Amino acid sequence: MIILGVDPGLTRCGVGVIEAGAHRRLSFIHVDVVRSSPDVSQDLRLLAIYNGLVEKIETYAPDTVSIERVFAQSNRNTVLGTAQAAGLAMLAAAQRNIPVALHTPTEAKLAITGNGHAQKIQIERMVTRILNLNTMPTPADAADALALAICHALRPAGALQGGEREEHLTPAQRQWAEASKKATKRRFNADRGM
């Protein structure tokens, strides 16, 4: 399965592509940053991001696009541009009938390091290690895009596919699966008023 991860941004939109093979073996394919100039109008910046994302999707033909779920930040202009870039990634995937998955930064950190509060440098080091890279991907947007692709590949919901058994899961995957089960149970109980 080819997974294209997107770390949305209006100035720098990280794109990372990996292949998830049997027994959760992950292989690096590509990493890059799609850029737009802050010196041009917003519509032209969005067009540049969209065209760059379309080019990556058409070049690497992913089975899934994994995008960082946008959440409210203190800077409204930053979150607006990030949300617009995320929407463009969803649109580009939907136009090609490619499934989209949204993952929060905490989910990605937990999947990669086993710690939902990991620092950027920890994420970069683990991405480098997981994908057997010689150097850390730069800038941080590139590493984050690869982390989102890895997060999707290691997601608990699909952890036991194709005859895989639980012993094939890493300790971080087991921890994430357990945390996801607890969160699901809390949401279920909250919905029922318990």
DSSP for 84-109, please give it: HHHHHHHHHHHTTT--EEEE-HHHHH
Please write the tens of the pLDDT for every residue from 37-95.
Answer: 999 999 999 999 999 999 999 999 999 999 999 876 666 767 888 999 999 999 999 99
Catalytically active residues, by annotation: 7, 68, 141
Please write the tens of the pLDDT for every residue from 113-155.
Answer: 988 889 999 999 999 999 999 999 988 899 999 999 999 998 8
Residue 116: what pLDDT?
A: 87
Q: How many CB atoms lie within 10 A of CB 127?
A: 28
Residue 7, annotated as binding a ligand: yes
Q: Determine the Cα–Cα distance for residues 64 and 78; give it in Å rounded to an integer.
A: 26
Q: How is residue 119 written in tokens? A: 């620092």
Residue 144, annotated as binding a ligand: no
Query: Which pTM was predicted?
Result: 0.79
Q: Determine the Cα–Cα distance for residues 17 and 47; give it in Å rounded to an integer.
A: 22
| Kind plus residue range of the DSSP H or E element containing 142 | helix 140-153
What mean pLDDT value characterizes the chain? 84
Topology of 2-191 in CATH?
Answer: Nucleotidyltransferase; domain 5 (3.30.420)
98: left (phi over 0), alpha (psi -120 to 50) or beta: beta
